Amino acid sequence: MKNFYFLFIAILVVSACNNNKSKTTDLFEVPALLDRSEKLQYFNEWSDTRNKYADLKHKLNKDPHSIDALIQLTNIFITEARITGEHGHYYNAALKTIEHALEQKKLTDNQKFLALSAKASVELSLHSFKNALETAKEAVSINPYNAQIYGALVDAYVELGEYDKAIETADKMVSIRPDLRSYSRISYLREIYGMPDEAIDAMKMAVEAGSPGSEEKSWAALQLAQLCLRYNKVNEAESILKQLLSERPDYPFAKAALADVYIKQSKPMDAERELKEAGSIIPEVAFTVQLAELYKKEGREDEMKTSLKQVLAMLEDDMKHGHNMSLEYAKIYLEFFNDADGALKYIQQDRDMRPDNIDINRMLAKIYLLKKDKTQAEAYLLKAERTNSKHPELKELKSQVLEI
């Protein structure tokens, strides 16, 4: 009887341990929503985001398996990454959350589609383009009638240099829903195929399709301004950016683009001011690179070196958080350190992953120009020109190849 009693107690203890283990397994630690800087707390947007996050966190604390809550939370993290520049925190948070959603056993087809769409978006942002393509394809197999997922496919095909497939997919996307997202993809492809004026027209349509003051419309207006600036429509770019900043004050990406306008207008002090203000709002590595480029142009070597240290630290942090920054590293080693071999080492990952991408081939042409290897430079320049792109760098690279 005594032995039976102890056996009974042991069974209870084991059972309790298993129950506790089950509860612990069921718990999902909701990633944090970071506070935005004061200049990013636009209108009701930030308070709406905080309230939505609090509601979703409460739901997940009660039910860690709420698939809809997990998907909605992932989309908040994706948006916050874009707005705040806190990529390391938010993309990891988004991946953790959406993977947890996809692990649930009772996903409906629509839930799985939405989860895969969100995951593809994160993978694109992390420059994991092959994974993004496969994820987007899986989502399309579930729902071939949603325009947004075709946007992810277009982006993946473009980054991988599969431009014919990108055009076919963009046509499908715009036929389903002609809106800001589809017009912007049409714009990208027109520029790639050497039609900058038509690309500008399509991006204008994207801007017109957006809601005033929204982050989406601001982003489209930024792309439009950058297009105009790239093809020497400086005054038009400046006008677009100032209008954008009147609708969305302190939008850091617009400030950084305005700095490029001021550089074109030989106003380095104004450019420096805009870049420093942009960098004080969000920790975006591109802003610090622009500052370093400005200091290099102005012959301010000590300030350039300080900026470069910050750039390398930021790139390292991004890489630690799973963000592929190999192309960005290659640019730094080529443009600031004059180190062709270092640049080549870093771009190898992208060359292997997307050998037909014209931007990658343009960078490779620049690297081999520095190495004085005319044969390789010509070969990569030929691949960079295969879509008849009118990118301003191409003309300069052609003349440099002839001088070797």
The model's pLDDT over 85-118, given as tens digits with 9 standing for 90+, comes to 999 999 999 999 999 999 999 999 999 999 999 9
| Gap between the Cα atoms of 185 and 194, Å rounded | 15
3-state secondary structure of 43: coil
The mean pLDDT of the chain is 93
Amino acid (1-letter code) at residue 161: G
Mean pLDDT over 11-29 rounds to 51
CATH-assigned architecture of domain 325-404:
Alpha Horseshoe (1.25)
The pLDDT tens digits of the residues spanning 149-165 come to 999 999 999 999 999 99
Q: Which amino acid is at 353?
A: M
- Provide CATH 1.25.40.10 ranges for the chain: 250-318
pTM over 0.75, yes/no: yes
Quote the DSSP letter at residue 231. T
Answer whether 143's CB lies under 8 Å from 110's CB.
Answer: yes
Q: Which residue from 265, 236, 256, 264 is spatially nearest to 392, judged by alpha carbons? A: 264
C-alpha span between 159 and 325 (Å, rounded): 14
pLDDT higher than threshold 90 for residue 244: yes
- Give SS3 for 36: coil
How is residue 310 written in tokens?
């910050």
Has residue 14 got a pLDDT over 90? no
What is the dotted CATH code of the domain comprising 250-318? 1.25.40.10
Q: Residue 364: exposed, middle, or buried by beta-carbon count in 10 A (0-12, 13-18, 19+)?
A: buried
Q: pLDDT (tens digit, 9 = 90+) per residue, 207-220?
A: 999 988 788 999 99
Evaluate whether 356 touches 160 at the Cβ level (below 8 Å): yes
Q: For 12-39, what is the mean pLDDT?
A: 67
Q: Is 300 helix (H, G, I), strand (E, B) or coil?
A: coil
Give CA separation, 59 vs 32, 65, 347, in Å: 15, 9, 44
Whether the per-residue pLDDT at 223 is higher than 70: the answer is yes
Each residue's pLDDT tens digit, 342-395: 999 999 999 999 999 999 999 999 999 999 999 999 999 999 999 999 999 999
Instruction: Give the mean model confidence (pLDDT) for residues 256-266.
Output: 98
pLDDT in tens, 291-347: 999 999 999 999 999 999 999 999 999 999 999 999 999 999 999 999 999 999 999
- In which region does residue 297 sit, left (phi positive, over 0), alpha (psi from -120 to 50) or beta (all else)? alpha
pLDDT in tens, 174-197: 999 999 999 999 999 999 999 999
**Quick one: what percent of the chain has pLDDT higher than 70?**
94
| Whether the predicted pLDDT of 16 surpasses 90 | no
